[in-house]
Amino acid sequence: MKRTIHFTKMHGLGNDYVYINSDLYPLTDPSAFSIKYSDRRKGIGGDGLILYGKGEEETYEMRIFNIDGSEGLMCGNAIRCVAKLLYQEGLDRSREMEIRTASGSKYLSLTIGNNDEVESVRVDMNPPRIINEELKLETSNGWQVVGQHVDVGNPHLVQFVSEDLTDFPLEVVGPEVEESELFQPHKVNYEIARVVDPHTIEMRVWERGSGMTMACGTGACATAVAAIHQGLGESPIEVKMPGGDLVIEWSGDQEEPVYMTGDATLVYRGELTI
């Protein structure tokens, strides 16, 4: 039996997803839906699918499904978009929110403009976990990767380089890092970064399950944490990505949370029949 589903297309710094209220439109197979409708030629197009709703609890939650159908733990860009949706749709009009994810609850502070629009969202990303300060691996074509293994709700490998990031073959190295046996069975996100100055870092990302994306919120957090931990940067750090910039704050104490601030953009609303 066919039914109509209403969706919202949003992006955080170009990291775009299809957003569906799962309380109103429950999906029996969100993985298959994400694979089909994330296709940029034959579907809606995006880096994946985000479901948001209350479920069995009063607190709102979000679930993330990547382009390949795998379920993610956390997405910093997506959670800002969910907060904006909850506020703009009248589901939660508070300026301080809790949103549950597969990596635990996150706490968000919304900045509201004069037109009652959400201008930016600051997210308490919880304390980071530095798993390995210097992890080394070699790709099949002999590329040497040396990075810091950091967990900020999901796993990242951050490598600092001196060259222009556009010269780095991320599309070649990224898939091998993601699939390396060192990170199985959960795989890893891979960032390459260049320190511009202590408060500015350029970054590109290869996201597990999605490939190269315009931006990654947790990746920006992991990169700032790695830089501060190594003495390469000082809080706050502006992380500049192809899709835009995020401001990351962290004291350097692994018992203290990382804070991420950025905007969220509504592209359009639509409906489809499945």
Q: At a CB cut-off of 8 Å and minimum separation 6, what does 121 contact?
A: 79, 80, 83, 84, 108, 109, 110, 111, 261, 262, 263, 264
* Burial of residue 1 (number of CB atoms within 10 Å: 0-12, 13-18, 19+): exposed
The question of whether 75 is a catalytic residue gets the answer: yes
Write the DSSP assignment of 86-152 as a string of letters: HHHTTS---SEEEEEETTEEEEEEEEE-TTS-EEEEEEE----EEEEEEEEEE-TT--EEEEEEEES
Which residue out of 215, 216, 228, 264 is catalytically annotated?
Answer: 216
Instruction: Round to whole Å and give the CA distance between 230 and 232.
Output: 5
Contact predicate 48/79, CB 8 Å: no
Contact predicate 238/201, CB 8 Å: yes
Residue 232 phi, psi dihedral angles, 5° rounding: -95, -15
The question of whether 81 is a catalytic residue gets the answer: no
Which residue out of 44, 51, 64, 75 is catalytically annotated?
Answer: 75
Q: What is the CA radius of gyration of the chain?
A: 18
The total number of residues shown for the chain amounts to 274
Q: Which amino acid is at 181?
A: E
Find where tokens 């699918």 sit: 49
Q: Which of 221, 226, 259, 258 is nearest to 241 (CA)?
A: 221
Find where tokens 């003495």 sit: 231
- Residues with catalytic roles: 75, 216
